[in-house]
Amino acid sequence: MKTQWKCQTLGTLLNLLLLCSCATERSRHPPDVRMNKGAGRADWLIVTLRLEDGEEMAFIVDTGAPGALFDSSLASKLKRLPLGKWTVATGLGKEKSAIYWEPPLFLGNPRLKTGRLCATFDLSGISEDAGRPIMGVLGMDCLKHYCIQLDFRSGTLRFLDDTHLDAAKLGQPFPLEFSLFRKLYIRRASLAGGRTGRLVVDTGDNGDGQSSIEGNEAKQLHLSRCIWA
């Protein structure tokens, strides 16, 4: 899901959201997660996360989102900050949201490392398409803290221990880049041939595998037709 967040009132707030907590302490790695059946096959990659009160909710894992989004119906559960509003722009349109402290999120027993701030968005359209209630989007403010493997052959999402990892066994590496809005890129020749450019790695896009131009040189790489193992 192509997502951009724009601050309406306080420009400095952007840095608070996108340059989220960089604490160096290591938490326990989350457990392996069994992927939903349609992940990578025209469906989103969906994981079940738990709030501090024990309530479990389905979240989309979205490397195309700079930060966490919660469904608008959860606004009453979030602690609002008196700092203005965001304009949240996604592939579903644009929507204004208040700014909230991001609540603790758990995958299994370990608490996930996340950013400090979050926003809300009406995810009812995604819920309808997914055939189940989708209550949030897990974005790069969390994912950047982890070494993640998407194994579509076994249908497993793994949070790897990067301190005991033999990278040589993982296949061909591609350097990753981050844009101002925390979008994740790889730089290589276009999938359709031609000159080398930046490809957006977006697990939140469940399109049919087409590439689209972003700016002058960036093309979007949809993961729904790619196999990572």
Number of domains, the chain: 2
Q: Are residues 116 and 211 in the same domain?
A: no
The per-residue pLDDT for range 112-125, each reduced to its tens digit, is 999 999 999 999 99
Residue 21 CA to residue 118 CA, distance in Å, equals 13
Q: Are residues 110 and 19 in the same domain?
A: yes
Q: Are residues 199 and 120 in the same domain?
A: no
Q: Are residues 155 and 79 in the same domain?
A: yes
How far are the Cα atoms of 144, 146, 212 from residue 199, in angstroms, in the given order? 18, 21, 9
Residue 26 CA to residue 28 CA, distance in Å, equals 7
Question: Which tokens sit at 149?
Answer: 């493997």
Extended strands (E) in 91-212: 93-101, 105-106, 117-121, 136-138, 147-151, 156-160, 176-178, 184-189, 196-202
Q: Are residues 157 and 213 in the same domain?
A: no
- pTM > 0.85: yes or no: no
Q: What angle do CA 41, 50, 68 make, to 5 degrees?
A: 65
Q: Please provide residue 142's backbone torsions phi and psi, each rounded to the nearest 5 degrees.
A: -100, -50
Q: Identify the domain containing residue 141 by its residue range.
A: 4-161
Average pLDDT of the segment spanning 203-216: 53
Q: Are residues 75 and 179 in the same domain?
A: no
pLDDT surpassing 90 at residue 182: no
Q: Are residues 194 and 105 in the same domain?
A: no
Domain boundary residue, one of 146, 161, 176? 161
How far are the Cα atoms of 17, 26, 103, 114, 167 from residue 23, in angstroms, in the given order? 15, 8, 17, 10, 24
pLDDT the model gives residue 228: 31
pLDDT the model gives residue 193: 60
Higher pLDDT, 180 or 19: 180
Q: Are residues 12 and 100 in the same domain?
A: yes
For residue 76, the domain's CATH number is: 2.40.70.10
Q: Are residues 20 and 90 in the same domain?
A: yes
Q: Are residues 34 and 144 in the same domain?
A: yes
Q: Are residues 101 and 176 in the same domain?
A: no
Domain boundary residue, one of 122, 140, 161? 161
- What proportion of the chain, given as a percentage, has pLDDT over 90? 40
